[in-house]
Amino acid sequence: MANSDELITSVGKNSNDTAALIWSVADDLVGAYKPHEYGLVILPMTVIKRFHDCLLPTHQAVLDTYKKVEKLAVKDGFLRKASGYQFYNTSPFTFKTLIADPENIVDNFKAYLNGFSDNIQDILTLLEEGELLNCKTIAEFLCQLIGTLTLEDAVFLQELEQRMSDLEEGILKHTVSDSSTQLMHIRKRLLILHSYYQQLSDFCEDLEENSNHFFQAEECQTFSLYASRIERLYDHSQMLREYALQIREMEQSQTDARQNRTMRILTVVTTIFFPLSLITGWYGMNFSHMPELSAPHAYGILIGICAVIVLIEIWIFHKNDWFS
């Protein structure tokens, strides 16, 4: 069988023959797929390849994290943090390693797809069931995809806001012991979401601008609606980030207040015992002639003086609300 170079040479410069050769090669590459079925492969592979390229820079970090948390019941947060996105893939395969083993590419590719996080699995299920592939236009497909990516995000942000509200109430009532840890996880998740919505918003704005005039005016209006929805999600996440910062400042102010109360108590104790320490130090000196030592009631008088000093100090502290 002649190779591709020999076929191209034999065709010559005739454009019709060249076009026929290209289409014949394309038919060989797509196999059993007919032209009207190309979308069944092209669109899903485009989406999967995009996910792959986004996750590729942090792929090894996700694998290392997965080995550490594999046996944990809840590991999504660790893996999302490692990937830098709201999705991840725990499969050891990449497109490069898949292509390098053509004999096992079917099984390996299935294993690669099964390695995606649950939210991506939902999208792949929609692709497999044809809900996304039944779209009549590219614009409709993109809108369905964006809608799927942000399907329950508004509910998730509301639940996150309620969680932050409960955390704030717990801090005020001193019923939460690990508020700093919880707040740190929330702030990290909001940071990831903020970046995620920023990227989606930029993507929708590019589609809405339609700089290459690929989409119709009605389709651009639909992109504008999705861009507005993502912008609201972006603003909500930004508001929650500011809310988290306020909770952090409130927690810090409470910590400072507790430290100030502790320092006040230590100051009161030190102030009370300072004159007593001065008196005991005074009479602890080894002088030969101290007239008070020979007085019959000197001990009682000294105790009385110490008690009066303590009572006067307590009265002064109480008058200045140092015990409140």
Domain boundaries, the chain: 1-31, 37-134
pLDDT of residue 59: 93
Hey, what long-range contacts does 253-257 have (CB within 8 A, 24 or more apart)? 254/171
Euclidean distance between CA atoms 167 and 176, whole angstroms: 7
Q: Name the DSSP letter for residue 214.
A: -
pLDDT of residue 240: 93
Write down the number of H helices and E strands in the chain: 14, 0
pLDDT less than 50: residues of the chain? 1, 4, 7-8, 11-13
pLDDT of residue 131: 59
pLDDT of residue 87: 87
Euclidean distance between CA atoms 122 and 127, whole angstroms: 9
- Nearest Cα to 146, choosing from 45, 227, 43, 234? 227
φ, ψ (nearest 5 deg) of residue 2: -70, 145
324 CB-side CA count, 13 A: 4
For 20-47, what is each residue's pLDDT tens digit? 665 565 555 555 556 656 556 677 788 8
Euclidean distance between CA atoms 295 and 299, whole angstroms: 8
Q: What number of other Cβ atoms are within 10 A of residue 269's Cβ?
A: 10
Cut 0.75: pTM above it: no
Sign of CA dihedral 5, 9, 13, 17: negative
Cβ–Cβ under 8 Å, residues 117 and 149: no
Cβ–Cβ under 8 Å, residues 272 and 315: no
pLDDT of residue 29: 53
114 strand-pairing partners: none
DSSP reduced 3-state for 285: coil
pLDDT of residue 236: 92
pLDDT of residue 279: 77
